[in-house]
Amino acid sequence: MAVLAEKVRSAERPGKSRRRRSARKRLEARWGWLLIAPSVIGLGVFSIWPIFRTLYYSFTLWGAFGGHTWNGLTNYRTLFSDSEVLHALRNTLIFALLSMLSVPIGIVVSALLNRPGLRGLGVYRTFYFIPVITLPAAVALMWKFVYNGDYGPVNQFLKLFGVHGPHWTSDPSTALYAVAIVAIWSSVGYNMVLFLAGMQTIPRHLYEAAEIDGAGKIRQFFTITLPMLSPTIFFVTVIGVINALQAFDLIYVMIGKNNPALNDSETIVYLFYDKAFVQSNGGYAAAIAFLLLGIIIVFTGCQFWLQKKWVHYE
Amino acid sequence: MSSAVLTAAPARAERARRRRRRDRRGHLVVHVILSVGALLMIAPFLLEMLISVETFAEATAVPMTFIPHVWRWSNYSDVFSAMPFKQMMVNTVLMTLARTAGQLVFCSLAGYAFARLRFRGQNVVFGLFLSVLMVPSQLFLIPQYEIIHDLNLLNSLPGLFLPGIFSAFGTFLMRQFFLQLPREVQEAAYIDGAGPFQTYWRVLLPLARPGLIALAILVIIWSWNDLLWPLVVNTDPSSMPVSAGLATLQGQYLTNYPVLMAGSLMASLPLIIIFILFQRHFIEGIAFSATKG
């Protein structure tokens, strides 16, 4: 009897703590689900379900008076023979490529700012960063005036040299480039901040060693700064390309509808907005959105594949 | 041996002096380049300020008017009569506050749960969140519009902010931040008998302040400047935030540049001022989101 009681007691102790541990686990599980519940519901309703809904819409034809009917792959087939889509695709790629110029500019600016003992870093950083946080709609209006063909400062400046500048934002041959310059202008500061943060993690002794070996500042930049910064450059480029492929605000405000240059400067997202919310052609717009997803996946995939060749990880 | 040291010392001093001189000359060149760049960055703003106090005739004169005849401050008050500007600013502020508050609460709760609690299914849910992160937001837009439409919230403030109070990115950012915090803190709280929520609320959340500030800054910048979503749901001028207001109403006042410039300045100034005041937090927050996010 006593032996039995002893056995029970000895069996009880680990059992109790196991029970306590499993109670803890159950408590964690309950709280875990409770704490993520708002996000699960919110993102489920506003993000995850919409992806499937949009996918379904991309296979439908929208009537002029509401309602939609299944029409299989027709939207996707139309996409690749629609000259408007092909134009938008071309514009978007050119725009994304051009706006990536803010990466080398950002690298140069931050390399200059990163010189030891340079004064005024904070002031410069403020100036370069202000365009990043300025309302894009306001930026676009401001630059629209700068580019104005009749009295904009750009053309007035060119006039000093006897050059007659075009109407930059309504001339089909210049509009896209004019907008791309604004995109570069407004993202240099963002890149600069990230590059500066990246450069500050490069150990100083590398530069000191190079100095002793007699390497000049330029040489140090190419042999130390660039390779050590390559993970940051990779990240900035990936994010930058994804953002540029989704360009909308500047095009909407600086170009806008009824602009003769629209066909040569509208981007995929502008076309998506126009089809979905101006022309109420949600089915076709949904297909355009998936085309955009495809492009983003291809570009990002390529960059990840190419990074093995140039990104230098410690 | 000793003579070699004696001759080397002045030579080394001379070399150091020469390097210092070269550095100083280098600094000058660097300052010139950086100043030209900085000027390019703020020149459009200076022009904007100038135009905003000129008359229409002065703004469109060739050659340019650098000093206005009289400073026309009335352009600024004209903004308020040309469009429901005050209401638009209020809409922008409320939309931004609601989205920021929502994301701070929901993302930090979920971020903590993903980082610090163990429960069945969390990896699946987190994977789903990550996939949302990869998808361009245009893919959500049509159904989001339909939901807001069905809830009868078009042209309303809740319609503006509702989808924006949840964020996969914010959740991910907060999770990364909570992961950084030492585990011992949480275990100590457990031993003291704190439950999962108390551990979050009393112990980890105060430690996560830098992460919360970073998230808040990113949401404020995104929300204040957001254009596409407001254009889609709020087409009535008095329910628009100022971004959509400027973008759509510019057509009507297309030629009235002084008033448009005054409006643009007033619309972008609050964020610029907040940035200048909290510059360190902005820079750190953005760098944090890039390295951890």
Q: What is the mean pLDDT of residues A67-92?
A: 94
Minimum CA–CA partner of A247 in chain B: B228
Of A145, A286, A296, the CB nearest to B51: A145
Question: If you count residue pairs, one on A and one on B, with CB atoms under 8 Å apart, how many are there?
Answer: 279
For A195, nearest residue in chain B (alpha carbons): B287
pLDDT at A108 over 80: yes
Provide the CA A58 distance to its chain's centre, in angstroms.
Answer: 24
Instruction: Pick the closest to residue A250 from A162, A187, A180 (CA basis).
Output: A180
Angle at B110 between CA B108 and CA B114, to 5 degrees: 115
- Please give the C-alpha separations between residue A113 and each of A116, A122, A197, A222, A227, in angstroms, as whole numbers: 8, 9, 11, 16, 18
| Mean pLDDT score of chain A | 91
Q: Do B30 and A112 touch (CB under 8 A)?
A: yes
Q: What does the pLDDT look like over B186-227, one tens digit per residue?
A: 888 888 888 889 999 999 999 999 999 999 999 999 999 999
* Angle between helices B138-150 and A49-57 in degrees, nearest 10: 100
Q: Residue B125: which of A40, A134, A277 has the nearest Cβ?
A: A40
More reliable by pLDDT, B270 or B190: B270
Which long-range CB contacts under 8 A does B27-35 form with residues at least 24 apart?
Answer: B27/A115, B27/A117, B27/A118, B30/A112, B30/A115, B30/A118, B31/A118, B31/A120, B33/A112, B34/A109, B34/A112, B34/A113, B34/A120, B34/A124
Return the axis-axis angle of helices A102-113 and A121-133, rounded to nearest 10°: 160
Q: What is the ipTM of this complex?
A: 0.89
Residues A55-59: what's their mean pLDDT? 96
Cross-chain Cβ contact A246/B136 below 8 Å: yes
- How far is B186 from chain A, CA to nearest CA, in Å? 13
> Which residues of chain B does A134 touch, with a Cβ-Cβ cutoff of 8 Å?
45, 268, 271-272
What's the average model confidence in pLDDT over A215-238? Answer: 93
pLDDT of residue A191 exceeding 60, the answer is yes
Q: What integer pLDDT is reported at residue A3 of this predicted model?
A: 46
Task: Tell me whether residues B106 and A286 touch, CB distance under 8 A.
Answer: no
Torsion of Cα atoms, A240 then A244 then A248 then A249, to 10°: 50
> For the residues A30-50, what does the mean pLDDT come to?
96
| The pLDDT of residue B289 | 83
pLDDT score for B80? 94
Assess whether pLDDT exceeds 80 at residue A93. yes
Helix axes B279-292, B257-277, angle to 10 degrees: 80
B15/B77: higher pLDDT: B77
CA distance A8 to chain B (A): 27
Q: Which residues of B touch A239 (CB under 8 A)?
A: 290
Yes or no, beta carbons of A35 and B197 under 8 Å apart: yes
Provide the pLDDT for residue B96. Answer: 98
Q: Name the closest residue on chain B to residue A187, using Cα atoms.
A: B41
- Taking CB atoms and an 8 Å limit, are A46 and B162 in contact across chains? yes
Distance CA A229, CA A314 (A): 11
pLDDT band with cut points at 50, 70 and 90 for residue B254? low
- pLDDT recorded at residue B234: 95
Of A222-226, B63-67, B233-237, minimum mean pLDDT range = B63-67
Cβ distance A189 to B41 less than 8 Å, yes or no, reads: yes
DSSP secondary structure letter of residue A274: I
Instruction: Say yes or no for a CB contact (<8 Å) between B264 and A141.
Output: yes
Say what the alpha-carbon torsion angle B10, B16, B19, B21 is, to the nearest 10 degrees.
-80
B15 — pLDDT class (breaks 50, 70, 90): confident
What pLDDT is stored for residue A14 in this prediction?
52
List the structure tokens of A275. 């089809």
Percent of chain A with pLDDT over 90: 79
The verdict on a CB contact (< 8 Å) between A138 and B45 is: no
pLDDT number for residue A12: 47
Q: Which of A7-21, A191-205, B134-148 has the lowest mean pLDDT?
A: A7-21
Shortest distance between the Cα of A38 and any Cα of chain B, in A, equals 6
| Closest chain B residue to A130, measured at CA | B272
* Contact state of A289 with B37 under an 8 Å Cβ cutoff: no
Task: Choose the closest CB to A43 out of B166, B232, B260.
Answer: B166
Residue A15 in this model has a pLDDT that exceeds 60: no
Query: Among A54, A133, A143, whose Cβ lies nearest the Cβ of B139?
Result: A54
CB contact under 8 A, B168 and A190: no
Among chain B residues, CA nearest to A151: B60
- Is pLDDT of A69 > 70? yes
Instruction: Please judge whether B231 and A277 are an interchain contact, meaning their C-beta atoms are less than 8 angstroms apart.
Output: yes
Query: Is residue A138 predicted with pLDDT exceeding 70?
Result: yes
What is the value of pTM for the model shown? 0.90
Integer Cα distance of A154 and A174 in angstroms: 13
pLDDT over 70, % of chain A: 94
* Cβ-defined contact of B31 to A28 (cutoff 8 Å): no
pLDDT band of A118, cuts 50, 70, 90: confident
- Report DSSP state, residue A61: E
Report the pLDDT value the prediction gives residue B2, as an integer from 0 to 100: 46
Q: Which pLDDT score, from 0 to 100, does residue B253 have?
A: 62
Is there a contact between A248 and B227 if contact means CB atoms under 8 Å apart? yes
Token reading at A201 = 């993690």
State the nearest Cα–Cα gap between B178 and chain A, in angstroms: 14
